Structure 1
Amino acid sequence: MSNSRREAKKPWIDTFTSFLEKNRGFVILFFCLPASFVFDLILISKKMLLRKFFADPKLHDKRVQIIQREVKKWNSLPKEQRKLLCTSRPNWMSLSLTFFKKEHCHQIDVDLDDILELDETNMTVKVEPMVTVGDITKYLIPKGYTLAVTLEIADATLGGLAMGAGMTTRSHIAGLYHENVISYEVVLGNGNLVTASCTENKDLYGCLPMSHGSLGFVVALTLRIIKTKPYVKINYVPVKGLNNYCDMIRLLSGDKGPDYPVADFVEATIFDRNEAVVMTGTFSDLDKNLRVNNVNRWYKPWFYKYVETFLKKGKHTELVPLREYLLRHNRAIFWVAESAIPFGNNVLFRFLFGWLLPPKPAFLKYTTTPAIRKSTITKLVFQDVVLPMRKLEDQIDLSEKLFGVYPLLVYPCKIFDRGFGFGQLKRPRGDYLVDGTDYAMYNDLGIYGVPGYVKNREKYNPVEAIREMEKFARDVGGFSFLYADIFMDREEFERMFDLGSYEIVRKKYGAEEAFPHLYDKVKPEIDVFQIGRLCKVD
């Protein structure tokens, strides 16, 4: 084809691409939702067949041996031919916002997604890393159990949560997700298989959380489970006044001390600076005096929209089936889906198409063009920042100043003082520790959506805004969840996290020349600082 003919076609391609970007909600409706629905059916069918005919720990061992063999084969290459290792899982399958450049790495297939063993005596379940939250809740809840910490997004993988960081509404009791990992099985950069636990390879065990696949390939993990009841009794309490709802969250989560009773679940949705709904939940049997609300039915309002109604209705108590409670934010991906499908909570849409929700994050990411990727930075904010709860008012004030976006999500969480040299998380400051304990009460501040400045077409520099939030986190001893875009340089990143023991572990276990560094795994694949400079010019 001649250059002139290529040039003639280019405007049509640009126009079509521009149309798709401007009408992404309809693209998602007519492509992503049906495609993700079919994809989910295929995935479910595949897993059912595998578990029915191949659920055998011996097959797990064989699959791990194949991974070991591939890594050892890589080791046999001349040193100059060895690219750093990573998994072959496509970027678009990951829940991370970034697109790590896997094409620059030597990719290993680590597609392990079986549930291996339920140990009801020791209250643990052993799983392969690609088992999802959706899989494990379907498996455990009918048996009367759930994970000690269960994330709300069904597509999140249990291995990914362990290598990143997970927090939920039970974290004020159980801590972060990785606090409830009993042990890991890891294939190292030399192909050897090791176990990491609090008694075996303890240094590796401490550094695997928040390592994002930069220390080895996790091929199995053993997780703590708890006994449950079939329902969660939820109390919705609307609260007016910033100080009032912040004080209530601190009280209900146990920041006042271990002698104060706490509910099984605690969360808050802040709808503006002066109004929030604080929710507590307790495991419950069926109570005929309370209404059962199946919050995840396809025609129901998105959960956060339902919660918002109690600002006018007042206090309310109801029962929600346990799995529906655990996945209550799944259909709307908290409230992120609104950015992609603005009409998604419309009554007519829910009735006709609600059964297709949620859009699988994989397909949202799959349809992300370079222009859309840039838009997620310049016109949207997706951040989870873990900060000391005693600074809750300051967090909310700063978030409003920098982003002007509501609702805000607040999950309380214990951050334990594990001493020096144990993992990437810094020890909580002494003045944050709850009296008589070895932990401080922190909270996740979830900031998702279109900033108010963008809605009002006012000047907004996302890089400067998020960098200021990151600086606040560093100053008060908090940290960012690394699934989202970070705007720190390497030096700032190493001030937020304690990488001393991590660097020692990388060297000791042969990861330095085998796997990318943590910072390189999680930094955005595009030049966010250039975006910040362009925003200044605009």
Structure 2
Amino acid sequence: METHEAAVSVIAGRVRQFHNRQQPFRIYHGSTNSTRRSQYNRSNIIDTSGLTNVLHVDKEKRTALVEPNVPMDSLVGATLPFGLVPPVVMEFPGITSGGGFSGTSGESSSFKYGFFDRTVIRIQIVLPNGETVSASSTDKPDLFWGAAASFGTLGVITLLEIQLIEAKSHVELKYHRLGSMPQAVEKLQEESQRESNDYLDGIVFAKDWIVVCSGRLVESHGQEALVQRFTRRRDPWFYLHAKKLTSRPATSAPVTEIVPLVDYLFRYDRGGFWVGMYAFKYFVTPFNRITRGILDKFMHTRVMYHALHQSGLSKQYIIQDVAVPYPAADEFVEWLDSNVSLYPLWLCPLKQRGQRKDSPQGLLAEAANADAPEYLLNFGIWGPGRTDPQEFVDINRRLEQKVNSLGGNKWLYAHAYYTEDEFWSIFDRKAYDALRSKYGASYLPSIYDKVKVDFASDQKAIRESWLLWLVAIFWGIWPLQGLYGVYKAAIGGDYLLPKERIWKAQGAKED
């Protein structure tokens, strides 16, 4: 803990410097699983990229003390030797504990435990004045719940205490094929009430081809012949495997497999669900088992995010996670089919409160509302959008408006096209601003500042600068953007911070 406390002291000192100048800062983690464009520069950051340690696992209390930049694969690797695992493990190995808490993350166990932040017991946070405090649902609960899903706009989280559950070696996974969205919703509701289930999600391959995947933790009992893996180069991508298993018309009997726990938890890492498929299409490359094997190094999510940010292609892809109440799911799928027409879609049922009895506050307050539905159904909508920039923005805005009209929510890790008035008509600005004022965070960027896509300003800048106009023309030549992204991902290194200009750095030394 001494090393941790020393690192937090350095962070707190730098925060005080920003506070004294009332200068806004952003939190630099070293990597990201957001698809938004990086807005960092080296003069406006609090660097937490070194906080990557699991400090303690308590087998008796079933808790883990972790720093915020501990990724999911490291967290699972640290807890499994104790026979424990986090209740909610995000599907990409590189998603961090702090990112999961601050950015609204759910997975296939969220039908039981809710979002990842519902499994966090306590946080340590450096307030915007440089003071370091702890917060939980009983100690400064407004700060604890306010920090969840607030994207670092209330301070810098430096430690989390996370609830753990008993782990088993494998997951018994059942694939149920359904012929319509109403049937799928009925199956999801049925499986979510089944006490033995630990995991539940689904894939929509078409309006009449939906696969619901239910899983329970089991010991393997030496049944190696039944084991199916997904993490090795020679293994199938999960969604393709699920599609192959359910290619025959729906029957009453589901297909059952045994999957090692780690392979199940990170089953979507290779191919990033199915987004990797679009990379093959972009480069006009055959999409088969041989090419997927040859290019496997580039098809893991850590590398894919690197390439996505360096190429800038995320501005041309619809990347949205939204959720609607169960009764609205069929209408929403019909709307998506007519207006977006992207398949597959990911389904993930979410229990808003999880297993907690205390009432969330801040941006999560809607989960505590007595009128709020207990469950929402998350849709992952990922794929290429319209080529015309204005049409691309329009379809994203119409999607947001449709979700809102159905009483649903949108998760803010992805691109947000709301106007400021639209955004604050959904979230409680008065309560949010009061909380920020109480803890001295008013000088920091607001959550809207962090998540908005300012398309109009970007287009205006291009129109007014012949240099930016030429750059836009150059990058519009296929496949330059993609090749640059792959090249930068191949050589590695930082992909969020801009390079320091050599002459500027030399001048600083002379001063």
- The reply to whether TM is greater than 0.5 is yes
Distance 2:295 2:458 in 1: 40
Quote the RMSD (CA, aligned, Å). Answer: 2.6
Question: Does the aligned pair in 2 maintain the 1:301–1:345 contact within 8 Å?
Answer: no
> Which structure 2 residues correspond to residues 343-382 of structure 1 after superposition, within 5 A?
343=285, 345-355=287-297, 357-358=299-300, 360-369=303-312, 372-374=313-315, 376=316, 380-382=317-319
- Residue 24 (structure 1) aligns with: none
Deviation of 1:366 (Å): 4.2
Question: Does the aligned pair in 1 maintain the 2:276–2:299 contact within 8 Å?
Answer: no
- Residue 53 (structure 1) aligns with: none
Distance 2:413 2:304 in 1: 13
- Residue 516 (structure 1) aligns with: 445
Match of 1:383 among 320, 345, 348: 320
Deviation of 1:425 (Å): 3.0
Match of 1:415 among 352, 366, 377: 352
- 1:65 to 2:9 alignment: yes
SS in 1 for 2:93: coil
Counterpart AA for 1:73: Q
SS in 2 for 1:502: helix
> Which structure 2 residues correspond to residues 107-506 of structure 1 after superposition, within 5 A?
107-111=45-49, 112-254=51-193, 261=195, 263-288=197-222, 291-313=226-248, 315-342=254-281, 343=285, 345-355=287-297, 357-358=299-300, 360-369=303-312, 372-374=313-315, 376=316, 380-416=317-353, 422-427=361-366, 433=373, 440-450=374-384, 461-506=391-436
- Residue 10 (structure 1) aligns with: none
Deviation of 1:339 (Å): 1.9
Distance 1:126 1:95 in 2: 22
Question: Does the aligned pair in 2 maintain the 1:212–1:518 contact within 8 Å?
Answer: yes
SS in 2 for 1:486: coil
Query: Gapped runs of 5+ residues in structure 1?
Result: 1-56, 255-259, 434-439
The Cα offsets for residues 16-54 of structure 1, whole Å up to 9 and x where unpaired, read as xxxxxxxxxxxxxxxxxxxxxxxxxxxxxxxxxxxxxxx
Deviation of 1:261 (Å): 3.7
Distance 1:180 1:203 in 2: 17
Deviation of 1:362 (Å): 4.0
Distance 1:524 1:344 in 2: 34
Q: TM-score, normalised by structure 2?
A: 0.82
Distance 2:292 2:412 in 1: 32
Counterpart AA for 1:446: G
Question: Does the aligned pair in 1 maintain the 2:36–2:413 contact within 8 Å?
Answer: yes
Question: Does the aligned pair in 2 maintain the 1:204–1:505 contact within 8 Å?
Answer: yes
Question: Does the aligned pair in 2 maintain the 1:100–1:524 contact within 8 Å?
Answer: no
Question: Does the aligned pair in 1 maintain the 2:231–2:263 contact within 8 Å?
Answer: yes
Distance 1:101 1:459 in 2: 21
Question: Does the aligned pair in 2 maintain the 1:387–1:442 contact within 8 Å?
Answer: yes
Distance 2:427 2:231 in 1: 37
Match of 2:44 among 106, 112, 115: 106
Residues 396 and 105 of structure 1, relative CA distance in 2, 3 Å threshold: farther
Distance 1:526 1:118 in 2: 45
Distance 2:295 2:43 in 1: 40
Residues 384 and 347 of structure 1, relative CA distance in 2, 3 Å threshold: same
SS in 2 for 1:69: helix
Deviation of 1:210 (Å): 1.4
Match of 1:527 among 456, 459, 463: 456
- Residue 87 (structure 1) aligns with: 27
Deviation of 1:178 (Å): 0.6
Q: TM-score, normalised by structure 1?
A: 0.78
Distance 2:243 2:7 in 1: 48
Residues 75 and 239 of structure 1, relative CA distance in 2, 3 Å threshold: closer
Distance 1:75 1:246 in 2: 49
**Paired residue total:** 448
Distance 1:344 1:218 in 2: 44
Residues 529 and 472 of structure 1, relative CA distance in 2, 3 Å threshold: farther
Question: Does the aligned pair in 2 maintain the 1:83–1:104 contact within 8 Å?
Answer: no
Counterpart AA for 1:126: L
SS in 2 for 1:312: coil
Percent identity, aligned pairs only, is 25
Deviation of 1:500 (Å): 3.3
Distance 2:407 2:414 in 1: 19
